């Protein structure tokens, strides 16, 4: 098969269009009845509570590592006391949301894509349509809502665990005082930083669920196709999270001035 | 019994045939699957769809339910032009159409009970009534014992019957059966064909059935349900059921459209060969 750039571009544009249409339909489904609350809660449970261990562990150890690394860098300027503010700012603004997004993407974008993909290739999605249910309303919308909602809390938890990790390292290994660490953390975080940390997960959650659903329901080619969709969903959502993180950071710094 | 208490609100009356295909074409990636197909299915008719594998039968059935859209031509189902309807509006119409998929397509995350009750749950029918109607529908397909099982624990024939129960539970105006006996042993096939005959003769639902097995097709044409003895029997005097008609597809074209007699007496060499 010869590679045709025109055809390739056309195919990409067609996918982008299809993806946008799917998103639009999902939003409309969330704004109009009937809303499948049962499915939303099931998804919240599997996405949110299922991701707790990995989010707690990554958040905690990232905080530990951050404290160690920043302390050794800050030492050169005699500013080891600034460790707390470095840890908290990085965790809240950047690493909490992004790491959680990436971990949840690995776990759930793949899970969503493979579940919907198997339903697609075994005609269960057609069966749902044949029974008069809109699969976007029943399958896509609940996953998007649940992922956005749960990722918000998971990101907060991750940032919190990071700060705790940093505290343990600071007190245990760097010899800082606890009260000093928390005082420093508290006063280095501004409203704008917290806002940034809270805005990002909304976008990341949306990316994870919508990309997972898109690759899931466009699956073709049997079991092999399901495998391909799963891989693509993880790669695509992870890359999109990193790119969107850059754009969002630029935008939010523009708005808040820090 | 559920099959007697047909929900009057659901079945809106309409004039004319139940299904009309008007010069329908559809293809996938340059491969023409249906080529200028036209036919009608009258209300109350049972249409048997025959033809070699890959001839476009399943595609035709999905077109009837609006699951696929034709490249050209018009399709009318239950008096509505579905080719001119948006997907959103089709969902309501599909509540009046039951579909049995070739591979059953049961929801594997749900139990048999929830699969069969799916439409009732969607319509927010009270829970006690749901249970009662599910039990009745499963009794109709003789699978009462499987109510708490999951699709992965069932055999192919049982799955097919659950899928029939799921399609008939609301007594739709039109039932589409895609190869309900495909890949099954003769005894199970006969059981399934008897269910189709019962549905036809007790309720008189319009239906389209795809089959690969000619003996199933002819059993449908030559048997009827005797409501007195509650058995499926041969039609007396070697007669055939008048509401049962045939449509034969080959390579995307309609090669036969008519009654049982016309089919068995056809002079077309291809049909003779196919029936032989
Ligand atoms: N979604 C699809 N995408 C691409 N090609 C398709 C699709 N659905 C069907 N086809 C093609 O359409 C043709 C007819 O398929 P169809 O499933 O209707 O055959 P069939 O008559 O039901 O065969 P069988 O008796 O084996 O079930 C096949 O060549 C198939 O490859
Ligand atoms: Mg088929």
Between chains, do B65 and A133 touch, taking CB under 8 Å as contact? no
Q: What is the DSSP letter of A96?
A: H
What is the per-residue pLDDT for A235?
96
pLDDT digits (tens, 9 = 90+) for B119-135: 999 888 999 999 999 99
- Contact with chain A for residue B94, Cβ under 8 A: yes
What is the signed CA dihedral for B34, B38, B42, B48, rounded to 10 degrees? -40
Q: Confirm if A171 and A177 have CB atoms less than 8 A apart.
A: yes
Burial readout B158-193 (b: 16 or more C-beta within 10 A, e: otherwise): bbbbbbbbbbbbbbbbbbbbbbbbbebeeebbbbbb
What is the per-residue pLDDT for A201?
96
**All structural domains of chain B:** 2-275 (3.40.50.300)
Q: Which of A1-15, A59-73, A199-213, B132-146 has the lowest mean pLDDT?
A: A1-15
Q: What is the DSSP letter of B234?
A: E
Could you tell me the residue ranges of all domains in chain A? 34-256
What is the signed CA dihedral for B220, B221, B227, B233, rounded to 10 degrees? -90
- Chain B residues with CB under 8 Å of A111 CB are none
- Contact with chain A for residue B101, Cβ under 8 A: yes
- Which stretches of chain B score pLDDT less than 50? 1-10
Q: Kindly report the pTM of this predicted structure.
A: 0.89
CA distance A123 to A136: 15
Identify which has the larger pLDDT, A78 or A227. Answer: A227
**Measured between alpha carbons, how far is residue B169 from residues A220, B31, B113, B210 in Å?**
31, 37, 12, 20
Q: What is the DSSP letter of B170?
A: T
Q: What's the B254 CA to ligand 2 centre distance in angstroms?
A: 16
pLDDT digits (tens, 9 = 90+) for B40-52: 999 999 999 999 9
Cβ count near B58 (within 10 Å):
20
What is the per-residue pLDDT for B8?
41
Nearest to A131 among B62, B87, B119 (CB): B119
pLDDT digits (tens, 9 = 90+) for A23-75: 999 999 899 888 999 999 999 999 988 899 999 999 999 999 999 998 888 88
CA distance A119 to B168: 22
CA distance B110 to B37: 38
CA distance A103 to A94: 14
What is the signed CA dihedral for B52, B56, B62, B65, rounded to 10 degrees? -90
What is the per-residue pLDDT for A2?
65
If you average pLDDT over residues A110-136, what whole number do you get? 94
Q: Which atom of ligand 1 is nearest to the CA of B249?
A: 21
- Chain A residues with CB under 8 Å of B94 CB are 129-132
Give the residues surrounding ligand 1 with Cβ less than 6 Å away.
Answer: B 28, 33, 51, 53-59, 102, 179, 212
Burial readout A212-244 (b: 16 or more C-beta within 10 A, e: otherwise): bbbbbbbbeeeeebbebbbebbbebbbebbeeb
Q: Which atom of ligand 1 is nearest to the CA of B252?
A: 14
Q: What count of CB pairs under 8 Å joins A to B?
A: 49
Q: State which residues have CB under 5 angstroms from ligand 2, the bound ion.
A: B 58, 102
Q: A134 to chain B nearest CA, in Å?
A: 7
Tokens of B79: 């008096």
If you average pLDDT over residues A194-212, what whole number do you get? 95
Q: What's the B59 CA to ligand 1 centre distance in angstroms?
A: 6
Residue of A nearest to B90 (CA): A132
């Amino acid at each position: 098969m010869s590679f045709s750039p025109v055809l390739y571009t056309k195919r990409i544009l067609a996918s982008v269009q299809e993806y946008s249409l799917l998103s639009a339909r999902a939003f409309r489904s969330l704004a109009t009845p009937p809303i499948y609350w049962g499915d939303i809660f099931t998804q919240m449970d599997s996405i949110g509570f299922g991701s707790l261990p990995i989010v707690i562990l990554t958040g905690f150890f990232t905080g530990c590592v951050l404290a160690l690394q920043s302390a050794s860098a800050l030492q050169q300027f005699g500013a080891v006391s600034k460790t707390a503010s470095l840890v908290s700012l990085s965790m809240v603004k950047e690493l909490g949301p992004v790491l959680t997004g990436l971990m949840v993407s690995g776990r759930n974008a793949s899970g969503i894509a493979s579940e919907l993909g198997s339903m697609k290739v075994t005609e269960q999605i057609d069966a749902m349509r044949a029974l008069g249910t809109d699969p976007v309303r029943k399958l896509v919308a609940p996953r998007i809502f649940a992922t956005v909602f749960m990722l918000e809390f998971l990101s907060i938890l991750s940032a919190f665990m990071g700060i705790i990790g940093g505290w343990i390292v600071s007190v245990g290994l760097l010899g800082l005082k606890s009260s000093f660490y928390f005082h420093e953390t508290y006063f280095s975080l501004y409203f704008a930083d917290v806002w940034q940390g809270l805005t990002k997960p909304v976008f990341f959650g949306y990316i994870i669920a919508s990309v997972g659903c898109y690759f899931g329901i466009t699956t073709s080619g049997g079991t092999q196709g399901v495998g391909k969709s799963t891989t693509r969903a993880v790669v695509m959502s992870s890359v999109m999270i990193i790119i969107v993180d850059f754009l969002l950071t630029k935008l939010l710094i523009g708005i808040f001035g820090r | 019994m559920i099959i007697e208490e047909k929900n009057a609100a659901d079945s809106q009356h309409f004039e004319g045939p139940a299904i009309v295909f008007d010069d329908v074409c559809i293809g996938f990636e340059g491969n023409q699957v249906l080529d200028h197909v036209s036919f009608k299915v009258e209300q109350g008719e049972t249409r048997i769809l025959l033809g070699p594998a890959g001839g476009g039968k399943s595609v035709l059935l999905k077109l009837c339910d609006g699951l696929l859209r034709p490249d050209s031509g018009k399709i009318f189902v239950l008096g509505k032009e579905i080719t001119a309807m948006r997907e959103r509006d089709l969902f309501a119409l599909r509540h009046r159409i039951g579909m049995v998929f070739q591979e059953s397509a049961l929801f594997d995350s749900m139990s048999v009970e929830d699969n069969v009750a799916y439409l009732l749950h969607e319509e927010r029918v009270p829970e006690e009534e749901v249970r009662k109607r599910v039990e009745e529908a499963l009794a109709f397909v003789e699978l009462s014992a499987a109510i708490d099982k999951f699709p992965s624990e069932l055999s192919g024939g049982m799955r097919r019957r659950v899928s029939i129960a799921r399609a008939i539970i609301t007594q739709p105006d039109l039932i589409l059966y895609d190869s309900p006996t495909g890949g099954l042993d003769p005894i199970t096939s006969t059981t399934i064909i008897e269910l189709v005959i019962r549905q036809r003769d007790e309720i008189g639902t319009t239906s389209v059935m795809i089959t690969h097995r000619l003996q199933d097709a002819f059993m449908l044409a030559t048997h009827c349900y005797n409501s007195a003895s509650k058995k499926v029997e041969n039609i007396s005097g070697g007669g055939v059921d008048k509401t049962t008609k045939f449509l034969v597809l080959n390579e995307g074209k309609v090669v036969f459209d008519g009654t049982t007699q016309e089919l068995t007496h056809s002079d077309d060499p291809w049909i003779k060969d196919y029936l032989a």
